[in-house]
Amino acid sequence: MKKEDKDLLASSFCAMPFDSPIVLLSGCVGFGEEYTRVQGFSNRDVGAVCLKGTTLEARLGNAPHRIYETPMGMINAIGLQNPGVDTVVNDILPTLDFSESRFIANVSGSTIEEYVEVARRFEDSPVDAIEINISCPNVKEGGVAFGNDPEMSARVVAAVRKVTRKPLITKLSPNQTDIAHNAQRCIEAGTDAFAVINTLMGMAIDIESRTPIIGNNQGGLSGPAIKPVALLKVHQVYQVCREHSIPIIGQGGITTTEDALEFLIAGASAIGIGTALFYDPLICPKINAGIARYLRDHGLANVAQLTGSLILNQ
């Protein structure tokens, strides 16, 4: 990052200092080591890294195929493959450099009790914050995703809030009727921030075998194809968040500086990069430079002055 861009891009998210508004999204960079091995990468290029989704016990994940490229996007159904929270806390976290970027744990579970126990293990670790992945299916309720029911979402947030003092970031699902109402319930339950949005559900079919290409039959759609949906959801959630000074990580199909700026204008305080990393691992410094240039050209002193600056048509 250029020295003259640092002050423009620096911000605070839930009292965490970010050198850049960019957050690397969970599942896209493993536990940080996959991305930091890329030649030319600097931890200073990003504000935070969301670690891979972590469950109480180790999981092997879904059967292949797990990833399939679609027009302007990608479907994935990894199945939360991870070594379990004890291995992450005891073996992986000590290898990370916390002096430059912030690291955010991603907590997943199939029961509220599992969410609580995983969060409890991370509470005594050096991670800077905890992201709650409420898109997981609740096995006690027949597989209904926690994130698609506002009351269920709030119950997860409230339960995790009781066992940690770290900032809580709730990752909201777009696969629900009223995302703003869900956000309101999560705020009341104690969330400190939101990640908006998680993937949309999608499918791809092999026309010769007439079977789903993804081994799990369906998966999460990400990439530029979902950007217009994600932008609207950020705008809708921001209407609730601005009354409570709750920040948002806007995400969903960001691949250019223009995309990033749209999310900031819609109400995001930070922007998440995920699918774009798969074809351009060094996209972050390009987006940083573009945001800084835009701020200078428009006489803005920092990213915060751009957040929520959307002027609606009358």
Contact 115, 150 (CB under 8 A): no
Say if residue 184's pLDDT is above 90: yes
Contact 265, 236 (CB under 8 A): no
Give the total residue count for the chain: 314
Closest CA relative to residue 241, chosen from 185, 158, 304: 185
Q: Which two tokens stand for residue 41?
A: 């990468």
pLDDT of residue 138: 59
3-state secondary structure at position 282:
coil
pTM of the model: 0.96
CB within 8 Å of 219: residues ≥ 6 apart: 66, 68, 75, 76, 77, 199, 201, 202, 203
258 burial via Cβ count (<10 Å: 0-12, 13-18, 19+): exposed
Selected catalytic residue, list 14, 136, 186, 284: 136
Q: Compute the average pLDDT of residues 149-156.
A: 95
pLDDT of residue 205: 98
Q: Render pLDDT for 251-275 as a digit per residue (tens, 0 to 9).
A: 999 999 999 999 999 999 999 999 9
Closest CA relative to residue 158, chosen from 186, 119, 136: 186
Say if residue 144's pLDDT is above 80: no
Share of the chain above pLDDT 70, in %: 97
Compare 165 and 141 and report the one with higher pLDDT.
165
pLDDT of residue 19: 94
pLDDT of residue 36: 67
What are the chain's domains? 3-305 (3.20.20.70)
Phi and psi, residue 18, nearest 5°: -110, 130
pLDDT of residue 161: 98
Q: Render pLDDT for 197-227 as a digit per residue (tens, 0 to 9).
A: 999 999 999 999 999 999 999 999 999 999 9
Residue type, 216: N
pLDDT of residue 35: 72
Quote the CA–CA distance of 105 and 304 in Å, as a whole number: 24
Compare 33 and 14 and report the one with higher pLDDT.
14
For residue 75, the cross-strand partners are 68, 221
Side-chain-side CA neighbours of 313 within 13 Å: the count stands at 0
For residue 193, the cross-strand partners are 169
B/e letters for 134-166, b = 16+ CB within 10 Å, e = fewer, are bbbebeeeeeebbbbbbebbbbbbbbbbebbeb
Whole-number Cα distances in Å, 245 to 57, 70, 199, 207, 309: 35, 37, 25, 49, 15
Contact 49, 102 (CB under 8 A): yes
Q: Compute the average pLDDT of residues 187-197.
A: 98
Active site residue 136: yes
Q: pLDDT tier at 2 (50, 70, 90 boundaries)? A: confident
Q: How far is CA 198 from the centre of its chain?
A: 7
Most distant CA atoms of the chain, gap in Å = 57
Q: pLDDT tier at 47 (50, 70, 90 boundaries)? A: very high
Q: pLDDT tier at 41 (50, 70, 90 boundaries)? A: confident
Say if residue 92's pLDDT is above 60: yes
Closest CA relative to residue 193, chosen from 147, 132, 279, 108: 132
Cβ-based neighbour number of residue 83 at 10 Å: 16
Compare 32 and 6 and report the one with higher pLDDT.
6
Q: Compute the average pLDDT of residues 153-177.
A: 96
pLDDT of residue 42: 75
Q: Compute the average pLDDT of residues 277-295.
A: 95
pLDDT of residue 142: 56
The 8-class DSSP code of residue 82 comes to B
Q: pLDDT tier at 117 (50, 70, 90 boundaries)? A: very high
Quote the CA–CA distance of 231 and 251 in Å, as a whole number: 8
